[in-house]
Structure 1
Amino acid sequence: MQNGYYQATGAMVTQFNRLDVITNNLANVNTIGYKRDDVVIADFERIFKETRDILPLENNTKDAAKFLNRTIDRVPHINEEYTDFSEGGMKLTNNPLDLSLGKKDLFFLVETPNGVRMTKNGAFNLDNDGYLVSKEGYRVLPSNYEAQPAQTRGIVVPQGSELSIDKDGAIYVNNENIARLYIAQPREIRDVKKEGDNLFILSNLNDIRDNANSGSVAQGYTQISNVNPVVEMVSLIEANRLVDMYQKVMTSHMTDLNQEATSKLASIKA
């Protein structure tokens, strides 16, 4: 068994998965409020040991098998995929419906068909009924949304009125306070997961609190993606070169080494 071949194959698959993450980041470089993803690469042996320490798992593998499979155990794997919530730059738009949050652990709340979700995209609009909505048409939720009837949840802004929003998310129409945005702050940001459409989900809504004094809302600004295209392009080139290298290793094992082994075996005299 050519352990080196399997090791190179596993490493190539890992780089393919890494390429998927990188290309997705590059595709969203201009998406408002997008947070880049990244991966942690580790070998199978390390992942197994960490998992065994947590569960724990008994190691019933025979010593001979441990020695034989040692190189296979060192095959790289994606140990963890995570989201980088660091802040992106702020872009001035002068649109009173554009909002930006200045801290990485703060989100807006929106009502979706699948329930309450969080978003960093503060490029809002008004729908035909006057509700403040996201780009996808989801209603933006106020601080008292739980006390509102489910059918009418949201923030209604009269058409043609003068709208202003302060740094804590309080909404004023013609200098009269009509509502305050729910500024969601998860208890642990590592538990926040992406769901698609630039939305984030937390399995337990009780782990979210309303930060009434965040001081982080900026009106007339949007937060651009935190993807650095130069860094992502360098990573893309690196991953492509690694794939090419692993391909050459696999070819050497399957062609050159096998051919050499076959010719030598054929030359052995009984």
Structure 2
Amino acid sequence: MLKGLYTATSAMIAQERRTEMLSNNIANANTPGYKADEGAMRAFPEMLLSRMESGRFQTSSGKGFSVPLQSPIGGINTGTYMQELIPQFTQGTLKTTDQTTDVALVENNVPINPETNQKSALFYAVNTPEGVRYTKSSSITLNAQKQLTINGRALLSVTGQPITVQSENFKVNADGTVSENGQNLGQIDVRVAMDTRNLAREGNDLYRTADNQPLPSAVNNGQMSYTLSQGVSELSNVDVTKSYTDMTTAYRAFETNQKVVQAYDKSLEKAVNEIGRVY
């Protein structure tokens, strides 16, 4: 009887994680460059049940002996779980802001991974205390050293160094070249993830490679084309309406499994307090 209890409980835990994921997506619906997560739901491995028995055999001498036997009953599934969170790297909506510090990375043409049939993804490279990380955020600011930063992390050039400007009046060309007062200050580096399965999220705007290998540069790569558009911000790709609908579905699934657990609890209570009562 407890097998159903475990199955319903695992489903509640899975729906709870799904609700947390959807809540985080909705909370970041207005975060520039945020990529929504999707959850991969999986069933636990099926187990084969067998009945333990004892068989009695007779020898030619008339003596008998018993041996353990197993009779297969069938398979049983022990429930479901959320295996992983998978970021969706589709391009978000582009919004014109006319702010020089908003520089959207627009993917014009990127190759498709033949193994996954998914598009590759382009990123800015930023420097962090843990090493180089990658971001889709389009909001650039200046730090105390007048370096271009994204959320406080230095934006790297193709030479691997930060780009320093004098003010927010800098210009960014379509190829990522930064200039101010007619002086070339460097070219913003753009990296490409050919297989997005190798990316792991750090916080809400950073990614790292799972194998700790740096992403290759997309600059001057003839297989792809992109444009850096100044005065444009890439919004998140969260579909708020769909997220609210999915959250309602997750709540209802959680409540349904909760009622199953409550039903099992009442049955166990009756078995312990009434059926098992000794007079």
Which TM-score band (shorter chain)?
0.7 to 0.9
When residues 68 and 2 of structure 1 are mapped into structure 2, their CA distance, relative to the original with a 3 A threshold, is farther
Q: Does the 8 A contact of 1:38 with 1:83 survive in 2?
A: yes
For residue 246 of structure 1, report the CA deviation from its aligned partner. 0.8
Does the 8 Å CA contact 2:10/2:81 hold for their aligned counterparts?
Answer: yes
Q: What displacement does 1:216 show?
A: 2.2
- CA–CA separation in structure 1 for the residues paired with 2:193 and 2:20: 28
- Compare CA radii of gyration and give the structure with the larger one: 2
Q: Which amino acid aligns with 1:186?
A: A
- Alignment of 1:226 onto 2:237: yes
- How many residues are treated as equivalent by the alignment? 245
1:120 and 2:136 aligned: yes
Secondary structure of 1:215's counterpart equals: strand
Alignment-derived partner of residue 246 in structure 1: 257
On the 8 A contact 1:139/1:154 being kept in 2, the answer is yes
- 2:29 corresponds in structure 1 to 29
Counterpart CA distance in 1 for 2:277 and 2:142 is 79
- Whole-angstrom CA distance in 1 between matches of 2:210 and 2:84: 19
3-state SS in 2 of match to 1:91: strand
Q: 1:264 to 1:139 in 2, by over 3 A?
A: closer
Deviation of 1:203 (Å): 4.1
Q: Taking structure 1 as the reference length, what is the TM-score of the superposition?
A: 0.81
> Contact 2:3–2:78 (CA<8 Å) still a contact in 1?
no
User: Which structure: greater helix fraction?
Assistant: 1
Q: Give the secondary-structure state (helix, strand or coil) at the position aligned to 1:217.
A: strand
* In structure 1, distance between residues paired with 2:153 and 2:24: 24
1:187–1:207: 8 Å Cα contact kept in structure 2? Answer: no
Structure number with higher strand proportion = 2
Check conservation: 1:192, 1:202, Cα contact below 8 A.
yes
Taking the aligned partners of 2:49 and 2:254, their CA distance within structure 1 comes to: 33
Q: Distance in 2 between matches of 1:3 and 1:262?
A: 21
**2:209 counterpart residue number:** 202
What TM-score, normalized to structure 2? Answer: 0.78
Q: CA contact under 8 A between 1:186 and 1:207: conserved in structure 2? A: no
SS at match of 1:208: coil
- Shift in Å, 1:205: 6.0
Give the Cα separation in 2 of the matches to 1:246 and 1:171: 56
Give the corresponding residue for 2:57.
none
CA shift, 1:7, in A, is: 1.1
Which of the residues 73, 77, 80 maps onto 1:76? 80
The Cα shift of 1:69 comes to 8.2
Matched, 1:131 2:142: no
Distance in 2 (alpha carbons) for counterparts of 1:62 and 1:257: 23
Letter in 2 for 1:15: Q
Question: Relative to structure 2, which stretch is displaced further, 228-237 or 96-105?
Answer: 96-105
Q: Equivalent residue for 2:104?
A: 100
Q: 1:108 Cα deviation (Å)?
A: 0.7
| SS, match of residue 209 in structure 1 | coil
Structure 2, unpaired ranges of 5+: 53-70, 108-119
The 1:257–1:62 alpha-carbon spacing in structure 2 relative to 1, beyond 3 Å, is closer
Structure 1 pair 197–7 and aligned structure 2 pair: CA distance change class (3 A): closer
Residues 207, 113 of structure 1: CA spacing in aligned structure 2 closer, same or farther, 3 A cutoff?
A: closer
In the alignment, what sits opposite 2:114? none
1: CA distance between counterparts of 2:73 and 2:84? 27
- Which position in structure 1 is the counterpart of 2:197? 190
- 1:176: Cα distance to partner? 3.3
Contact preservation (8 Å) 1:110, 1:119: yes
Shift of 1:264: 6.2
1:68 CA drift (Å): 6.5
- The verdict on how the C-alpha distance between 1:264 and 1:128 changes in structure 2, with shifts beyond 3 A counting, is closer
How big is the alpha-carbon RMSD for the aligned residues of Structure 1 and Structure 2?
2.7
